């Protein structure tokens, strides 16, 4: 029998989600994938940060229901110091302007996790500051963005990770 590591188990749980045993085509429409993140540090930037498209961001998102304004996301990225981090958070659709435009907020834990791949996330910056106090290297991410959906399957967003990081991303939905 093949051994399943904890990271693979985590991804399995994200992709299958609650109610996987009775999954159908409508269940798939609750999922989306976020990729292609561009980031730029707007203050204190002297070229020392991992930015532009080098953060290798990827997350899977699942809405709680078709009508819900909330969803959960799990993903991974390389932080400003090029350390691999786990990101787990909640998304809230704050205001729908019309069927194509949405203002959203994402509130996430981004940091260390028990898997070796994420063990260096707390070595620098605010991640390290939190590690000194709590014993876990992480940084809370507060992100607000404007998302444009030219189709039901594709969206582009741009926003700010508080306090000073400009970010853009692409969202692929299974609607």
Query: Tokens 């290297």 — which residue?
Result: 137
* Partner residues linked to 86 by β-bridges: 76, 111
Does some domain include residue 110?
A: yes
Does some domain include residue 19?
A: no
From residue 167, how far is each of 41, 53, 103 by CA, in Å? 9, 10, 14
Q: How many domains does the chain have?
A: 1
Does some domain include residue 80?
A: yes
pTM of full prediction above 0.85: no
Does some domain include residue 17?
A: no
Write the CB contacts of 136 (distance below 8 Å, at least 6 apart in sequence): 111, 112, 122, 130
pLDDT above 60: residue 161: yes
116-125 burial, b at 16+ Cβ within 10 Å, e below that, comes to: eebebbbebe
CB 138 within 8 A of CB 112: yes
Mode of pairing for the β-strands spanning 138-148 and 165-173:
unpaired
Query: pLDDT by residue (tens digit) across 24-37?
Result: 557 889 999 998 78
The beta strands (E) that lie in the chain are given as: 31-41, 58-63, 70-78, 84-96, 101-111, 138-148, 154-161, 165-173
More confident residue, 39 or 27: 39
pLDDT above 70: residue 156: yes
Does some domain include residue 18?
A: no
- Give the domain extent around 118: 6-12+30-173
Query: pLDDT by residue (tens digit) across 89-111?
Result: 999 999 999 989 999 999 999 88
Does some domain include residue 1?
A: no
From residue 74, how far is each of 42, 71, 92, 97, 124 by CA, in Å? 26, 10, 14, 26, 22
Q: What is the CATH number of the domain that holds 43?
A: 2.40.160.20
């Amino acid at each position: 029998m093949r051994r399943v590591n904890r990271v693979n188990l985590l991804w399995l749980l994200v992709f299958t989600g609650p109610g996987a045993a009775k999954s159908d085509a409508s269940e798939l429409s609750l999922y989306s994938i976020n990729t292609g993140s561009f980031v730029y540090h707007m203050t204190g930037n002297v070229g020392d940060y991992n930015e532009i498209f080098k953060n290798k961001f990827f997350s899977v998102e699942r809405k709680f229901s078709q009508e819900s304004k909330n969803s959960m996301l799990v993903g991974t990225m390389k932080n400003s110091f090029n350390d691999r981090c786990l990101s787990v958070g909640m998304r809230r659709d704050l205001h729908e302007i019309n069927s194509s435009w949405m203002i959203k907020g994402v509130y996430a834990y981004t940091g260390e996790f028990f898997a070796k791949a994420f063990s260096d996330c707390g070595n620098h910056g605010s991640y390290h500051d939190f590690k000194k106090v709590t014993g876990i290297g992480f940084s809370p991410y507060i992100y607000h963005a404007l998302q444009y959906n030219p189709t039901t399957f594709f969206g582009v967003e741009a926003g700010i990770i508080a306090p000073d990081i400009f970010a853009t991303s692409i969202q692929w939905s299974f609607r």
